[in-house]
Amino acid sequence: MLPLRTPDGTDNIFPDLLSADCYKDHPNMQLFPSVKQIIDGLQCEVMSVRLLNLTAGSVIKQHRDAELAFEKGEARLHFPVQTNAEVEFYINNERVIMNEGECWYINANLLHRVSNNGHTDRIHLVIDCKVNPWLEQLILNTEIIAHAPDENRSPDLLKQMIISLKEQNSPRALQMADELQQEYDTLLLSNQP
């Protein structure tokens, strides 16, 4: 892992109570002007930025990053820099194939894991951002959004998500609200005696 933006620009990648809102560029950022251009193009608050290298044959066990989700006000963006066909990234047991040059939002609050079964390293630029209206519209208006089912969604959470999407009133947000409404209705029916 190579830190590029951290709490107070230090080598410590984990925020503490005093530095949680004080993310600054790490000295390593000077080595990557193209990454700085990407960050400058994001019209939202950028928290941590790092290059993650998963070496050939390595595995990251299944885990979740608590509270790191769009619905919770934070978004993790993955930019694959180098990858191979043998990388297996799963979110809630659904494989997600991320290709070089793409940008992916993942709900890191869901269970996810990755293994690099290839012969080359997998390198991702990973950026954690605060959700604001610009990022919200960007994500909600994206034509391709892979939905990983969340078996832990409560009816209350689903209802809140539906209301929030309807308030956006964009075609894509309304479509997502309709899809979640179907999931909500199914969940209510399955919970009836």
Give the global pTM.
Answer: 0.71
- The answer to whether 115 touches 66, Cβ cutoff 8 Å, is no
Within 13 A of 78's CA, how many CA atoms are on the CB side?
19
| Cβ atoms < 10 Å from Cβ of 185 | 12
Distance CA 55, CA 182 (A): 41
State pLDDT tens for residues 11-27.
665 554 444 568 999 99
At 146 the pLDDT is: 46
Least confident of 38-47, 142-151, 152-161: 142-151
Beta bridge partners of 76: 106, 128
DSSP one-letter code for 147: P
Distance CA 190, CA 188 (A): 5
**To which residue do tokens 């947000």 refer?**
173
Of residues 151 and 5, the one with the higher pLDDT is: 5
At 18 the pLDDT is: 46
At 165 the pLDDT is: 67
Within 13 A of 17's CA, how many CA atoms are on the CB side?
0
Question: Which structure tokens are listed for 86?
Answer: 């043998």
